[in-house]
A and B are shown apart, each in its own frame.
Chain A
Amino acid sequence: MVTSDPTYAIEIRDLRKAFGSTQALAGADLVVRPGESRALLGRNGAGKSTLIAMLTGLVRPDAGLIRIQGTDGQVKDGAGADSIACVYQKSTLVNDLTVAENISLGAYPRKKWGPVDWQAIRSTAVEQLTEWGYEHIADRTVADLEPLEKKIVEICRALSRGPRILLLDEPTAGLDEGGSHELFAQINSLRERGVTVIYVSHHLEEIFKVCDSVTILRDGKDVLTAPTSELTVEKIVNVMAGVTDEEASAKSRDKDEHARLTQRQEPGEVVLEVSGASVGHRVSGVDLVVRAGECVGLTGLDGAGHVQLAQAIAGQLRMDAGTMLHKGKPLGTGDEIDAINAGVGFVPEDRHFNGYVPEMSVEENATLSIVDRLRSAGGLINTKQRRRLFNELSGTWAIKCDGPTQAVEELSGGNQQKVVLARALASKPDTLVLVHPTAGVDMTAKESIYESLQSLRDSGKSLLIVSADDDDLAICDRVVVMYKGTVHAELAAGYEEWELVGAVQGAEEAVA
Chain B
Amino acid sequence: MTTQTPTLTGTPPRGRAAQVGRSITSSNWARELALLPVIALAMIVGALMSPQFLTANNILNNILVTSAVLGIVVVAESIILISGYFDLSLESVVGLAPMLAVWLVLPAAAGGSGWGFSAWAAFAVMFVLAIVVGLLNGTLVARLRLNAFIVTLAMLILLRGLTMGLSGGQTLSGLPPEFLALGSTRWFGISIQIWLFALILAAATVFMRSHPVGRKLYAMGGNNAAAAAAGIKTTRLTIGVFVAGSIIAAFAGLMLTGRIASVTASQGEGMIFTVFAAAVIGGISLNGGKGSMIGALCGVLLLGIIQNILVLSQVPSFWIEAIYGLIILGALVFNYLAGSKRSRRVV
A316 to B2, CA, bound (A): 47
Cross-chain contact B345 with A357 (CB below 8 angstroms): no
When the two chains form the complex, which single residue of A45, A369, A379 contacts B230, counting CB atoms closer than 8 Å?
A: A369
What are the interface flags for A347-375 relative to B under an 8 Å C-beta threshold, 1 for contact and 0 otherwise? 01000011111111000100011011011
What are the interface flags for A373-388 relative to B under an 8 Å C-beta threshold, 1 for contact and 0 otherwise? 0110001110100000
Residue A242 is within 8 A (CB to CB) of chain B in the complex: yes
Q: Which of A80-108 contact B (CB under 8 A)?
A: none
Closest A residue to B1 using CB positions: A223
Contact residues in B for A403 (Cβ distance below 8 Å) = 17-18, 20-21, 24
Cross-chain contact A444 with B8 (CB below 8 angstroms): yes
Cross-chain contact B346 with A336 (CB below 8 angstroms): no
Contact residues in B for A353 (Cβ distance below 8 Å) = 225-226
A43 to B347, CA, bound (A): 12
Cross-chain contact B20 with A402 (CB below 8 angstroms): yes
Q: How far does the Cβ of A48 sit from chain B's closest Cβ, in whole Å?
A: 8
Q: How far does the Cβ of A302 sit from chain B's closest Cβ, in whole Å?
A: 20
What are the interface flags for B282-311 relative to A under an 8 Å C-beta threshold, 1 for contact and 0 otherwise? 000000011000000000000000000000
Give the number of residues in B that approach A within 8 Å (Cβ atoms): 45
Cross-chain contact B219 with A360 (CB below 8 angstroms): yes
What are the interface flags for A397-419 relative to B under an 8 Å C-beta threshold, 1 for contact and 0 otherwise? 01111111110001000000000
Contact residues in A for B20 (Cβ distance below 8 Å) = 402-403, 406
Closest A residue to B8 using CB positions: A448
Q: Which of B1-43 contact A (CB under 8 A)?
A: 1-12, 16-18, 20-21, 24-25, 28
Residue B232 is within 8 A (CB to CB) of chain A in the complex: yes
A24 to B347, CA, bound (A): 8
A20 to B12, CA, bound (A): 19
Residue B216 is within 8 A (CB to CB) of chain A in the complex: yes
Cross-chain contact A371 with B21 (CB below 8 angstroms): no
What are the interface flags for A223-260 relative to B under an 8 Å C-beta threshold, 1 for contact and 0 otherwise? 10000000000000000011110010000000000000
A315 to B229, CA, bound (A): 9
Cross-chain contact A380 with B2 (CB below 8 angstroms): no
Q: Which of B138-185 contact A (CB under 8 A)?
A: none
Residue B270 is within 8 A (CB to CB) of chain A in the complex: no
Contact residues in B for A364 (Cβ distance below 8 Å) = 215, 219
Closest A residue to B226 using CB positions: A354
Residue B49 is within 8 A (CB to CB) of chain A in the complex: no
Cross-chain contact A243 with B6 (CB below 8 angstroms): yes
Residue B222 is within 8 A (CB to CB) of chain A in the complex: yes
Cross-chain contact A356 with B347 (CB below 8 angstroms): no
Contact residues in A for B53 (Cβ distance below 8 Å) = none
Contact residues in B for A223 (Cβ distance below 8 Å) = 1
Interface centre among B10, B211, B216, B230 (most CB of A within 10 A): B230
Contact residues in B for A375 (Cβ distance below 8 Å) = 212
When the two chains form the complex, which single residue of A50, A340, A374, A444 contacts B347, counting CB atoms closer than 8 Å?
A: A50
Q: Which of A21-44 contact B (CB under 8 A)?
A: 22, 24, 43
Q: Knowing A381-B210, A381-B211, A398-B10, say if A404 contacts B219 (CB, 8 Å).
A: no
Residue A447 is within 8 A (CB to CB) of chain B in the complex: yes
Cross-chain contact A19 with B346 (CB below 8 angstroms): yes
Q: Which of A430-459 contact B (CB under 8 A)?
A: 444, 447-448, 451
Residue A326 is within 8 A (CB to CB) of chain B in the complex: no
- Starting from the known contacts A49-B346, A360-B218, A394-B11, 7 additional A-B residue pairs (CB-CB under 8 Å) come to A218-B2, A247-B3, A353-B226, A355-B229, A356-B223, A368-B232, A383-B210
Residues of A near any B CB (own CB < 8 A) = 19-20, 22, 24, 43, 45, 47, 49-50, 53, 58-59, 218-219, 223, 241-244, 247, 315-316, 336-337, 339-340, 346, 348, 353-360, 364, 368-369, 371-372, 374-375, 379-381, 383, 394-395, 398-406, 410, 423, 427, 444, 447-448, 451
